[in-house]
Amino acid sequence: MLIRRIKGNYKMWVRRAMYVVLEVIIADDDPIIAGFLKKVIEEVPDVRVIAVVNNGKEAVRMVNIHRPQVVFLDVDMPETNGIEAARQMAEIDRDIKFVFVTAHSDFALNAFELYSFDYIMKPFKETRVKTTVRKLKEKVFLEQSAKSKQTYGLMIEVDSKQVFLDPAEILFIESRKHKLLIKTINCEYLTAGDLLTYEQRLNLHNFFRCHKGFLVNLNQLKEVVPIGRTFEIVLRSGDKVLLSRSKEKALREKLK
């Protein structure tokens, strides 16, 4: 009964965490364009415009207060232009998405140097704006979904019990026939599964498939030493895992 309750609460928690209401700020010194953008954006379900401003300086202030996921920015605005405003906003929140609205195509290169999500040329069509907003919703949904799973931890089944592990405490996972040995800082667990599945589940936690039989937490890495014609990864705990010759170059690139 307790296990069922844990599973049910976990699924409900994840569903709530993944529900996305996209919050948007619009910055454009033309009130007609700003009003049109607001109307079109809010026609997309679960999207809310939380502020409309007419200059870059005010846009930065609103981002600092409201922390939206998305900002639609006119490039050419008084006081602080859209490019400079975006730089300042990115310092406040590195995950914020920018959509530049401009009548000048030569601004596009500068805009994408800021890792903007998109840019829209004036005059724009409703369908173009809505397509961008829907893509933004999907991207934010996926990011929040990943963060939800990351925050909650890794759930495994051991002897018919549900065990929750902090990925940061996992040293390595070793494949043993049809089972997996999960070695943590303080314990060992034997569970069913395959390395490929866990490689995908732990992708956000800096795990590396160092060998066909091992998945290792690179945050726990101490050194790499040669052993004959292959290599060995030594962890801070003193544990050692195999590093195949074919994976050694990939590891070097990743550590750069």
**pLDDT on residue 109:** 56
Q: Which of 136, 138, 131, 137 is nearest to 117 (CA)?
A: 136
Q: Is the pLDDT of residue 251 over 70?
A: yes
Residue 8: the pLDDT is 47
pLDDT for the residue numbered 112: 59
Q: How confident is the model at residue 118 (pLDDT cuts 50, 70, 90)?
A: confident
Q: What is the pLDDT of residue 207?
A: 94
pLDDT of residue 28: 94
Q: Delineate the domains of the chain, giving CATH numbers in brackets.
A: 2-150 (3.40.50.2300), 154-255 (2.40.50.1020)
pLDDT per residue over 157-193, tens digit each? 888 888 888 898 999 999 998 899 999 999 999 999 8
pLDDT value at residue 163:
87
Q: Is the pLDDT of residue 98 over 90?
A: yes
Say what the pLDDT of residue 229 is: 86
Residue 72 CA, chain-centre distance (Å), reads: 21
Number of helices (H) and strands (E) in the chain: give both, helices first. 8, 15
Sorting pLDDT into bands at 50, 70 and 90, what band is 242? very high
pLDDT of residue 30 exceeding 90, the answer is yes
Which string of DSSP letters, residue by residue, matches 105-135?
A: GGGHHHHHHTT-SEEEESS--HHHHHHHHHH
144 to 17, 18, 137: CA distances (angstroms)? 7, 6, 10
If phi > 0 it is left, if psi is from -120 to 50 it is alpha, else beta; for residue 75 that is alpha
Tokens of 254: 């990743």
Q: What is the pLDDT of residue 200?
A: 86
Task: To the nearest 10°, report the CA torsion of 87, 90, 92, 98.
Answer: 110
User: What residues contact residue 173 under an 8 Å CB cut-off, 6+ apart?
Assistant: 180, 181, 182, 183, 195, 198, 214, 215, 216
- Which residues lie below 8 Å from residue 60, measured CB to CB, with a gap of 6+? 80, 85, 88, 89, 92
Please give the Cα distance from 25 to 63 (Å, whole number).
8
Instruction: Give residue 115's identity as a one-letter amino acid code.
Output: Y
pLDDT tens-digit readout, 144-161: 766 655 555 688 888 888
Q: 13 or 97: which carries more pLDDT confidence?
A: 97
